[in-house]
Structure 1
Amino acid sequence: MTYPNIDPVALDLGFVKIHWYGVMYLLAFASAWLLARYRSRQSWSVVKTKDVEDLIVYIAFGVIIGGRLGSAIFYNFSHWITDPLWIFRIWEGGMAFHGGLIGVLVALWRFSRRIKKPFVATAEFIVPMVPLGLAFGRLGNFIGGELWGRPTDGWWGMVFPGAGDQPRHPSQLYEMFLEGILLFAILFWVSRKPRPAGLVGGLFLFLYGLFRYLVEFVREPDEGIPLLFDWMTRGQQLCVPMMVAGIVLIAWAWRKKKID
């Protein structure tokens, strides 16, 4: 297949350039805002409609700060040390999901204290919205021609700019579908039904970790980061504790349900 080779700059106004990467983030936050407003009107919601805007601001700061720090610490530490200002040049790409997740959890903890609601309930209000943001983020990776897959002989392989002449797995699209669209459908469906507290959060942690772990087998390993056991990528290493935490949270939710 032919890679579309889209210009990473969506709009050049002369004095400022708007990158597709930034547009994807705006779409991610906009989708979260719309879905949060819809969910806040439900009778079971712990977040009121008047608090949605503040919630999205908290999440935005958590995603950007956590994602950027995660990228610097987990994947680009040596580069960050040699070029400290790189961490502020977000338009160049370089955001780590696992860092963003930690940032969002911290932000949600602060937000839940502010509205005086349980942290788990507040977190599970926002969890079904996260995969849509992930889908837009992976689409941004694809448009930017970054985080491509390993070489493949399949007809769906694409030649990415800067990745040599070999067709490669469009792993960004795999992740967009699995971590974004499919995960959103599952979590949104489960969250609409009566369920024990913690189940949705546990499903998110386990399923994201599983999907990402599997895709990593066809995604090009990050340059300069050694593989654990000569095969496990840094992404897979970070997904293992996620899956374990997800299983523990699901078990806790069902045990609590039986006790109640």
Structure 2
Amino acid sequence: MLPYPNINPEILKIGPLSIRWYGLMYLIGFLCSYLIVKSEIKRKGLKVEKDFLENLYFYLILGLLIGARIGYVLFYNLSYYIHNPLEVLAIWHGGMSFHGGLLGVIFSAWIFTKIKKFDFFTLTDMLVLTAPIGLGLGRIGNFINGELYGRVTDVPWAMIFPEGGPLPRHPSQLYEAGLEGALLFVILWFLKDKFNKSGLISSLFLILYGIFRFVVEFFREPDPQIGYILGIFTMGQILCSIMILAGLGLFFYRSRK
């Protein structure tokens, strides 16, 4: 068994304000995404307005936050929020869904490309190249927070998480950081110039993320308010299955386009 490092989630605290590792991870993720998309636009010789990226990331961040919150409410704890509707706005209490955030980003990117008359799939192909960076860093943030830990196990690298009870558990946040972050980034980056049709890299992101997350969910503790579906699957696996099917459909659709 390995000792849990117990890193202070707060980097700096001044009065009621604090800078946390989790927030810093996402800030770094968005900064990396901005720089990579900017580089890809230049490399591809795409003509965009001067403030194109600044406006784009305003839309994306807004879509991510709204989508992630609505997704959590609908997918993970609907009955609670029906009885406590004002809690929907209390995002500081936690509760954000990746799949909801993904839908929010897709919707906001679609609106943005309609306004700017920019090809939607050309944009999403650039964005998904950068998504694993934020995802991987975000999972490291989860690990530092001691949240979203894994199921009880006796593997040699198991850890006892402060909020996970006395038994050792899988550090599933690190599994996700490795698969959904590092490995997914390497695969997409290697394949980014292998296709001559837009949308295919986007479809591969949906498929591969869905597969990696589906696998890791077998090691991750399910959400307590939901538990297991059909006695074995988690809500995350159900949503990932839909994501994989959507990715496959998009891949064949764009391949034949």
TM-score, shorter chain, exceeding 0.5: yes
In the alignment, the residues of structure 1 paired with residue 19 and residue 251 of structure 2 have an alpha-carbon distance, to the nearest angstrom, of: 41
Contact kept, 8 Å, 1:25 with 1:137, in 2: the verdict is: yes
Query: Number of aligned pairs?
Result: 256
| Counterpart residue identity of residue 13, structure 2 | D
**Corresponding residue for 1:98?**
99
The corresponding residue for 1:167 is 168
Q: Secondary structure at the match of 2:217?
A: helix
- What is the letter of the counterpart of residue 108 of structure 2? A
Change (3 A) 1:11 1:243: same
1:166 match: secondary structure: coil
2:180 maps to what in 1? 179
Confirm or deny: 8 A CA contact 1:32 1:56 kept in the other structure: no
Return the TM-score normalized by structure 1: 0.92
Q: CA deviation at 1:82?
A: 4.6
CA RMSD of aligned residues (A): 1.8
Aligned residue number for residue 241 of structure 2? 240
AA matched with 2:113? S
Q: Does 1:205 align with 2:227?
A: no
Report the CA distance between 1:164 and its aligned residue: 1.0
- What amino acid sits opposite 2:247 in the alignment? G
Shift of 1:43: 2.4
Between 1:171-180 and 1:84-93, the stretch displaced more is 84-93
Instruction: Tell me how far 1:199 sits from its aligned partner.
Output: 1.0
What is the CA–CA distance in structure 2 between the aligned matches of 1:4 and 1:37, rounded to whole Å? 36
1:44 Cα deviation after fit: 4.9
**TM-score, normalization: structure 2?**
0.93
Partner of 2:145: 144
Counterpart residue number, 2:125? 124
Between 1:73-82 and 1:240-249, the stretch displaced more is 73-82
Identity of aligned residues (%): 46
Counterpart position of 1:114 = 115
Once the 2 structures are TM-superposed, how far is the Cα of residue 108 of structure 1 from its aligned partner? Answer: 0.4
Give, in whole Å, the separation in 2 of the partners of 1:49 and 1:185. 30
Corresponding position of 1:192: 193
Alignment partner, residue 6 of structure 1: 7
Pairwise CA distance, 1:88:
3.9
Unaligned runs of 5+ in 1: none
Q: Deviations over 1:29-60 (max 9, x none)?
A: 11111112111211254756641111111111
